[in-house]
């Protein structure tokens, strides 16, 4: 029987410090440290918050910029959650940009994730691409899709 995947960081009183995350991820912590270390190179900031609707801590990967008229803008590039032994990065690709995403230099496995994703959203339609990151192997694909999401803001 396949072990069940368990989302962690569910206590609102325990903030997701680097020690708490390291304990939850185990061997995957090295991949997480490398992942967050690379964020600045892609102009992405990560912000943690406890969401009572999902009863868990989630991080938003945000790209922030100043508009031509001086206004502050931001777009959510991805959502990150901590699981037992890995972390999930979910990038929501807008329906109108999905065809362009298939033209990115992504591995067939990643294109299959995009093709198999089920549409979500009300008026605005999105396709969630969910990466289960246990090692550094998938990180290049995550950043390729993240950079794409930033470019279509």
Q: Does 123 map to a domain?
A: yes
pLDDT at 124: 78
Q: Is the pLDDT of residue 58 over 90?
A: yes
For residue 3, name the pLDDT band (cuts at 50, 70, 90): low
pLDDT at 63: 97
Q: Does 10 map to a domain?
A: no
Q: Is the pLDDT of residue 2 over 90?
A: no
| pLDDT single digits (tens) 110-130 | 999 999 999 887 777 999 999
Torsion of CA 93, 99, 104, 110, to 10 degrees: 60
Domain count, the chain: 1
Q: Is the pLDDT of residue 51 over 80?
A: yes
DSSP class of 111: H
Q: Which domain holds residue 33?
A: 18-151
Q: Does 1 map to a domain?
A: no
pLDDT at 97: 96
Q: What is the CATH number of the domain that holds 58?
A: 3.90.1150
| pLDDT single digits (tens) 7-44 | 999 999 999 999 999 999 999 999 999 999 999 999 99
Task: Using the CB atoms, write b or e for 35-53: b if 16+ within 10 Å.
Answer: bbebbeeeebeeeeebeee
Q: Does 34 map to a domain?
A: yes
| pLDDT single digits (tens) 72-118 | 999 999 999 999 999 999 999 999 999 999 999 999 999 999 999 99
Q: Does 28 map to a domain?
A: yes
pTM: 0.93
The residue-averaged pLDDT of 138-153 equals 94
Q: Does 11 map to a domain?
A: no
Q: Does 129 map to a domain?
A: yes
Q: Does 3 map to a domain?
A: no
């Amino acid at each position: 029987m396949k072990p069940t995947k368990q989302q962690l960081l569910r206590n609102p009183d325990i903030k997701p410090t680097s020690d708490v995350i390291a304990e939850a991820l185990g061997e995957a912590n090295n991949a997480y440290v490398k992942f967050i270390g690379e964020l600045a190179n892609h102009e992405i900031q990560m912000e943690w918050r406890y969401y009572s609707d999902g009863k868990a801590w989630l991080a938003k990967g945000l790209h922030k910029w100043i508009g031509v008229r001086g206004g502050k803008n931001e777009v959510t590039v991805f959502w990150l959650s901590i699981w037992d032994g890995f972390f999930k990065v979910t990038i929501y690709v807008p329906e109108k940009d999905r065809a362009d995403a298939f033209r990115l230099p992504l591995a067939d496995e990643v294109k299959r994730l995009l093709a198999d994703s089920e549409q979500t959203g009300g008026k605005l339609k999105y396709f969630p691409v969910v990466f289960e990151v246990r090692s550094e192997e998938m990180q290049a694909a995550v950043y390729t899709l993240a950079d794409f999401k930033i470019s279509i803001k």
